[in-house]
């Protein structure tokens, strides 16, 4: 099965070729045909399955016919990063179509967004809050909307966007087609689906289990040894790009600073950073300028960086779903990846839940040569901790000198 079978407009096919897609992914195989027939689609697919193209391609194909210079498709996304990425996917896949896409989210000025809307963008991809701003201020005309996509609906519920979404829906005079994507199906989503989708085709790709191309392992460790363990793990493991998740903004900043001081090329991504700094962190990670990105969960969705070899949960995520989404950042489509999760005694319940979803026990690993018994009173989390310094100097190839100096000073 290849993309020719869908009979896309030649200019849409040009986009498929430009991105080098050869074989449709399962979600694409199942949702593109009904979407092209104008049916409503409920797509239950986890991240990294190719779901963006599953809705973008039929939309581009549809908009290829009909009037230009008016807004005809709207995609609602939970995060700025995802909105930006989806907009980019439309622009790349649709390059030969001449259709224009605009991204709409807060944290950046409105003027450029308004200019693009007025210039006649046919596709808008945005986050609920800023979309409503534009709609209520009359900058966005939804009266010609043909297709509405609600992407990562479960995530939007988690983030408390339900009222905003309902407000947006009220401003839309029944679009001709609605596509809703969600990795999970909690009751709230089920109710929304009933209200807004008409006789939808349901496409389910796997359950909420993480992508199969990822191998998982747990590293039991005491809380105070996590940083040292991470350093040692980075030293001992052959990695390409590494995405590290920590629980809070503060922990992200502290950890990335410690990694930086230990000689790693690292950037951080968390909600307190300006949009520009977030964008720049992502760009540096994407381009390979930095090999490690330390992030809070805002990055778990929406980051589409190919070649992430390792996801390391410095802190275990809050739920099984959050685990799935984090892990979905590696092993995307045909790639394979490894997911390491640091666990303390307090994480046992969640570990059992994750294992239930995976339907198998997770491998527990210990890192050879790592001292798991350093007491917390040793304050080894400081940058000057012997273990962290050891990692730093080893990276710089001066391990021997370090040991020599230490023995002299002690
Ligand atoms: P998504 O789940 O939409 O975030 O897509 C994950 C990644 O898979 C993105 O980098 C896409 O460009 C890529 N992708 C989507 N469809 C295909 C395909 N049919 N073949 C290869 N890569 C794809």
The token pair that represents 16 in the structure block: 């498929």
For domain 214-401, give its CATH number from 2.60.15.10, 3.40.50.10800, 1.10.357.10, 3.40.50.300.
Answer: 3.40.50.300
**177: its two tokens:** 């087609």
365 contacts 229 by C-beta, under 8 angstroms: no
Atom of ligand 1 nearest to the CA of 45: 2
In whole angstroms, give the CA distance from residue 332 to residue 45.
13
- Rounded to 10 deg, the angle between the 226-236 and 249-261 helix axes is 50
pLDDT for 236 equals 86
What is the end-to-end Cα distance of the chain in Å, rounded? 68
Report CA(125)–ligand 1 centroid distance (Å): 18
Distance 332 CA to ligand 1 centre (A): 7
Q: What is the pLDDT of residues 362-396, one digit of tens each?
A: 889 988 888 898 887 654 444 445 555 555 555 55
**Domain coordinates in residue numbering, the chain:** 3-205, 214-401
**Residue among 52, 155, 183, 206 to mutate when testing ligand 1 (max atoms within 8 A of CB):** 52
Q: Residue 66: is it exposed, middle or buried by C-beta count within 10 angstroms (0-12/13-18/19+)?
A: exposed
Mean pLDDT of the chain: 85
Distance CA 51, CA 61 (A): 16
For 191-216, write each residue's pLDDT tens digit.
899 989 999 999 987 544 455 566 88
**Atom 5 of ligand 1, residue of closest alpha carbon:** 50
Q: What pLDDT score was predicted for residue 387? A: 56
User: What stretches of 55-109 adopt beta strand conformation (E)?
Assistant: 73-76, 101-104
Q: 409: CA distance to ligand 1 center in Å?
A: 55
In whole angstroms, give the CA distance from residue 170 to residue 183: 25
Using the mean position of ligand 1's atoms as its centre, give its distance from the Cα of residue 32 in Å.
14
**Domains 3-205 and 214-401 fall in the same CATH topology:** yes
The 308-313 sheet, strands edge to edge:
266-269, 292-295, 241-245, 308-313, 337-343, 214-220, 363-364
DSSP per-residue letters across 121-146: -SEEEE-HHHHHHHHHTT----TT--
CB 24 within 8 A of CB 185: no
**Angstrom distance (rounded) from CA 241 to CA 307:** 6
pLDDT of residue 358: 76
Looking at domain 3-205, its CATH class is alpha beta
Record the tokens describing residue 365, joined without a space.
């690993």
| Beta-bridge mates of residue 44 | 182, 204
Mean pLDDT of 240-264: 93
Q: Which numbered atom of ligand 1 lies nearest the CA of 47?
A: 2
Q: Is the pTM of this model over 0.85?
A: no
Q: Which helix (H) or strand (E) covers residue 12, if one does? A: helix 10-18
Residue nearest to atom 6 of ligand 1 (CA): 48
Task: Pick 188 or 27 by higher pLDDT.
Answer: 27
Ligand 1 center to residue 333 CA distance, Å? 6
């Amino acid at each position: 099965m290849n993309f020719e079978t869908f009979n896309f407009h030649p200019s849409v096919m040009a986009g498929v070729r430009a991105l080098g897609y050869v074989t449709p992914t399962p979600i694409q195989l199942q949702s593109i045909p009904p979407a092209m027939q104008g049916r409503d689609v409920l797509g239950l697919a986890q991240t990294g399955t190719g779901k963006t193209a599953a809705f973008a391609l039929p939309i581009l194909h549809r908009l290829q016919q009909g009037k230009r210079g008016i807004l005809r498709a709207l995609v609602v996304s939970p995060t700025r990063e995802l909105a930006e990425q989806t907009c980019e996917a439309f622009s790349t896949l649709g390059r030969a179509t001449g259709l224009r896409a605009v991204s709409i989210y807060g944290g950046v000025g409105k003027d450029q967004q308004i200019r693009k809307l007025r210039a006649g963008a046919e596709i808008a991809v945005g986050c609920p809050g800023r979309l409503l701003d534009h709609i209520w201020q009359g900058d966005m005309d939804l009266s010609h909307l043909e297709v509405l996509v609600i992407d990562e609906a479960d995530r939007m519920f988690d983030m408390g966007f339900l009222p905003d979404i309902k407000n947006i829906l009220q401003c839309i005079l029944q679009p001709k087609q609605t596509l809703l994507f969600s990795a999970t199906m909690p009751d709230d989503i089920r109710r929304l689906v009933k209200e807004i989708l008409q006789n939808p085709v349901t496409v389910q790709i796997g359950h909420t289990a993480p992508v199969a191309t990822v191998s998982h392992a747990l590293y039991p460790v005491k809380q105070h040894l996590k940083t040292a363990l991470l350093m040692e793990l980075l030293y001992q493991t052959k990695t390409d790009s590494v995405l590290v998740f920590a629980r809070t903004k503060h922990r992200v900043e502290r950890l990335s600073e410690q990694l930086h001081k230990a000689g790693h090329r690292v950037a951080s991504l968390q909600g307190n950073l300006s949009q520009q700094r977030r964008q720049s962190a992502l760009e540096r990670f994407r381009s390979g300028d930095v090999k490690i990105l330390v992030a809070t969960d805002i990055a778990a969705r929406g980051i589409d960086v190919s070649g992430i070899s390792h996801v390391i949960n410095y802190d275990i995520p809050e739920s099984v779903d959050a685990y799935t989404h984090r892990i979905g950042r590696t092993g995307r489509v045909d790639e394979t990846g490894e997911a390491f999760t640091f666990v303390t005694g307090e994480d046992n319940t969640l570990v059992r839940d994750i294992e239930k979803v995976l339907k198998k026990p997770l491998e527990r690993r210990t890192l050879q040569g790592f001292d798991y018994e350093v007491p917390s009173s040793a304050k080894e989390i400081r940058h000057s901790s012997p273990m962290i310094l050891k990692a730093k100097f080893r990276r710089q190839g001066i391990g021997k000198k370090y040991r020599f100096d230490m023995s002299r000073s002690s």
